[in-house]
């Protein structure tokens, strides 16, 4: 099976712009989680989706949003970008809520200038 894919892999944006990142989970996996990794804060949980429903959300401002489609693909959006949003954004998929092994994608490295 193909692994988790994320697009784009690298992205440079300007403050105030918005960005959409995409994650395609492993075939058959219904749960997708998103994480932000920065040098200062480490890895932090953003959201978790299961069957198109957001199951949980981390402590991030409302500028961070996401969704999941019927084919389990997920997108996250960050509006009004700030310099502090520069980070590696990782998504992970798992088979379902009862099976929580996390399979991580390669990440999208976002740089905000």
- Return residues touching other proteins (CB under 8 A): 33, 35, 37, 42-45, 48, 55-58, 88, 90, 92, 100-104, 106-107, 109
Between 23 and 92, whose beta carbon lies closer to other proteins?
92
My answer on whether omega of the bond before 8 falls inside 30° of 0, hence cis, is yes
Between 36 and 72, whose beta carbon lies closer to other proteins?
36
In terms of DSSP bridges, do strands 19-24 and 87-94 run parallel, antiparallel, or are they unpaired? Answer: unpaired
- Between CA 90 and CA 69, with CA 106 as vertex, the angle to 5 degrees is 60
Nearest Cα neighbor of 19 from 8, 33, 31 is 8
Between 54 and 80, whose beta carbon lies closer to other proteins?
54
DSSP state of 107: -
The nearest distance, CB 56 to other proteins, in angstroms, is 3
The nearest distance, CB 82 to other proteins, in angstroms, is 21
The nearest distance, CB 4 to other proteins, in angstroms, is 10
């Amino acid at each position: 099976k193909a692994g988790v894919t994320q697009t784009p892999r690298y992205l440079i944006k300007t403050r105030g712009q918005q960005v959409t990142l995409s994650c395609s989970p492993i075939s058959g996996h219904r749960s997708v989680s998103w994480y932000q990794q920065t040098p200062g804060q480490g890895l932090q949980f953003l959201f978790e989706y299961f069957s198109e429903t957001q199951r949980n959300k981390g402590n991030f401002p409302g500028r961070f949003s996401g969704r999941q489609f019927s084919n389990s693909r997920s997108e996250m959006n960050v509006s009004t970008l700030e310099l502090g949003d520069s980070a590696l954004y990782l998504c992970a998929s798992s088979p379902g809520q009862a099976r929580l092994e996390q399979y991580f994608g390669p990440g999208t490295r976002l740089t905000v200038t």
